[in-house]
Every structure is written in C-alpha cells, then in structure tokens.
Structure 1
Amino acid sequence: MHLLRGAAGLAALLGLAPRQFAADSSAYVDKETGLTYASYTSDRGIIFRVAVPDTVPTSLVYDTVLQIVSPIAVGWAGLAWGGSMTYNPLAITWANGTHNVVITSRYAYGYYVPPVYPSSNYTVLKTGTHINATHWQITAKCTGCTKWGDDSTGVTTIDPKIQNTIAFAYSNTPVDTPADAGSSFGIHDSIGHPVFDLSVAENKNFTAAVAKLA
C-alpha cells in the first residue's frame, strides 16, 4: 500500500491540480556553504534549513542537505522529515560541549526515546559546522531522508517540487551523554509543523557543490 501525502495526494487521487498553501519557509542563500536553502526559524530562534538538487529521479531517492542553527542553551533540536514525531526519519542534533556538534539518525515507533535508524545516514560537512559562544551550527548531507517505508506499511516520499510539512522539536534539557551519538534524551519542550517550499531550495550541480564542503 502506498500512502498519499496530504492535500497533494488527495488532489492527485481526484484528478485535481494540487492546492498550494502559504509556505512557512523562505529562500535563504548561505554565503558560507554557497547553497540555497528553504529556511524556517522556530519560536526558540532555532533555524532549520533544507537544500535539494535542482533535478531528482522519478524514484524520489536523492540526497539533501540539512542545516540547523541553534542557541547554545538548547539541549537538543530535531527535525522530522515526514512532518510527525513517529514513523519517519528523524535528525536529532546537539552540541557536545564546545568541541563539536553531534547529529544522529533516529526513527520513533511511539512516544519514547527513538532508536538509531540505520537507513538514513548523515555526513557532517566541515564547511557550515561550528560552535561559538552563543550558537552552534551543523550542516550535513543526508542520504535516505526522502523515501521510507515499504509495501506493507506504506511508502512515503518527499517531492521537492511541491510543499512538504517538515516537523521540528527541541528541548532545553541536555542529552544524557553528549559525546555519544546513541545517547538517550528527554521529551521535547516544544514542537512545530512548518510547511517547507523546497522548490526555492534547488541547487544546480548539487553533488559537486556538496562534495566541496566535506
């Protein structure tokens, strides 16, 4: 069984043109990485950005770049690619003291600490990842964040040509073991479900541009 994505999926089923809603994100050109992102800032001042290639295969399996900028006081910040806290790939990030920023791939099956998810992999990009006295920032390539599920549970994809709900969460409480990417952590303090317009985040020569940032 294949799942239809929200209003766009329902419109396709009925033979109607997909309805576009006002996006919560806006285009952002990052001078440091040279990439163009769809960018959204949360109520806590955490910035979530996604960059995509300008052309993707019909399978909708393609790499993305995720950039998160967070106040240093935030314990952890997370992004849910499918727009909910369960049954989709999660990116959970936090600062390991003043040393480095950690990103871990997770997948929640219920409202408890999500286990590590090996089907989505993050490659931290040196350009665009750093910490200062007030903020930490991570920029990472994700392989396996645009399509998940199977024929029994339903397959979900992210089509960059349409709008997509991409959820976020954060906690002011630090994770249990900051140096360990497999660390457990407490429940979020806040969540949100912004609509991202990924059509403004397309990048030409995406693969080559990202490779230069590694």
Structure 2
Amino acid sequence: MHLPRVATSLASLLGASKPVLTPRQFEPDSSVYIDADTGLTFASYTSDRSIIFRVAIPDIIPADLIYDTVLQIVAPIDVGWAGFAWGGHMTYNPLGIAWANDKEVVLSPRIAYGYYSPPAYTDSHYTVLKKGTHVNATHFQVTAKCTGCSSWGDESTGISNIDPEYQTTLAYAYGNTKVDIPADVQSTFGIHDSLGHPIYDLAVAKNAAFAKKVAALVAGEET
C-alpha cells in the first residue's frame, strides 16, 4: 500500500493532473459505509484529524467515464475548512472545499494551481443535499451531488477521469484556521495544516438506481 502513496506524493509535487490508479492488490484505506440519512452506500475514509470523506457513485459507469458522484464530508466543528481532491493531489483537478457558516455548511468548487487560496472552478457543480447536510455542537456535515468531478481537463492539459474498476488514490487537506469570510462561497483561506492521499476502492460505493435516488434527494423526497 505504500508504493501508491509515494507515487501520488511525487505526482503532487510535479503538479500532475491524472489520478493514480492501482490494481486491486493492496488493502484500500476506505471501507464501505451505508448512510442512514440518504440511503446511499459510500466508500468512506477517516483522516487522523477525524475528518470523514465519503464518495458514492452509480452502479453502471458509462464508457466515457463521465458520471455524477456524491461527496460527503463530516468534520469536527473546530476544523476551519476541509477539502477533497478528486484527482489524488491538491493541484490541477476538481476540489470541494467545505466549512461551517453558523448553522449552515458552505461547499465551494475550486481548483488549485499552487500554494495560495484556490480560485473557483466552473467546470464542476455541487448540488447540496439537504438530507445529509447539517451543523451541530460537535460537527458539520455536507452531502452533495457533483457534476463534473469524475472527468476533467482538456486537449491541452490532457483528459483525466476516475475509473472505479481500479483502486483510486484520492486526496484531502484541511486547515484549522477559519476561512476569511464564512458566508461567502468564494472566500479566501489559508494554506492547509495537513493533507493525505488515501486509496479508495470505489467498487463498494456503487449504488443501484443512483440517478433516481439522488434526484429524489435533490427534490427533498424520501428515498
């Protein structure tokens, strides 16, 4: 399991854009999780800061590997912000940055190009699911459908995508300092305090009738 971690760290330093895919020969860092709130099945990973990053996907993946996903982040209330990177490193791929704003949670699509506050990323879109999103005295949690998180890039940079037939190295980062303007989805924030590159087995995150279930959640209906 250590070899993919090393490869991913090097890719991050070099600014590569493709996720690291490995055959199913290593024990993944993720585990299966069935969410009682949404009814979705996720691949789930918990960081050493007790931040949980979960991914759910459809059971039928199209040949072009362009499909919607669901991201769920659960973080201790004293975490300033928590970010998830779909490409296995923190640069040149879609990010989802979450933070608490009083009794609400903000989820901002970003893309990073270096060690400064990442700008907005317009090629991905998050639709926050009310069921599965909340703030309480100890944690904040956000659950959202992402369109544009399974495939990214262009002819000049190359097309990257997530193929759940392989184990996939994804990435996360977090900062203990609050963002500058919590009510602003475009708020700037400081550099991360820590990051990681867990290996996910997304085969366990497949959901039958995914589109129907997510559409019902978007509409606020019971699944």
TM-score, structure 2 as length reference: 0.88
Runs of 4 or more consecutive aligned structure 1 residues displaced over 6 Å after TM superposition: none
Is the alpha carbon distance of 1:210 and 1:187 closer, same or farther for their aligned partners in structure 2, counting shifts above 3 Å? Answer: same
TM-score, structure 1 as length reference: 0.91
Is the alpha carbon distance of 1:211 and 1:185 closer, same or farther for their aligned partners in structure 2, counting shifts above 3 Å? Answer: same
1:151, distance to aligned residue in structure 2 (A): 1.9
Matches for 1:67-78 after TM superposition, within 5 Å: 67-78=72-83
Matches for 1:11-160 after TM superposition, within 5 Å: 18=23, 20-97=25-102, 99-160=103-164
Count of aligned pairs? 202
Unaligned stretches of 5+ residues in structure 2: 1-16, 219-223
Identity of aligned residues (%): 65
1:211 alignment counterpart: 215
1:187 to 172, 185, 191: 191
In 2: Cα distance, 1:116 partner to 1:181 partner = 9
In 1: Cα distance, 2:44 partner to 2:59 partner = 17
Is the alpha carbon distance of 1:19 and 1:196 closer, same or farther for their aligned partners in structure 2, counting shifts above 3 Å? Answer: closer
Residues 64 and 145, structure 1, Cα contact 8 Å, conserved in 2 = yes
Deviations 1:39-60 (A, max 9, x none): 0000100000000000011010
Letter in 1 for 2:91: T
Letter in 2 for 1:197: D
Query: Please, what is the CA RMSD of the aligned residues?
Result: 1.3
In 1: Cα distance, 2:41 partner to 2:21 partner = 26
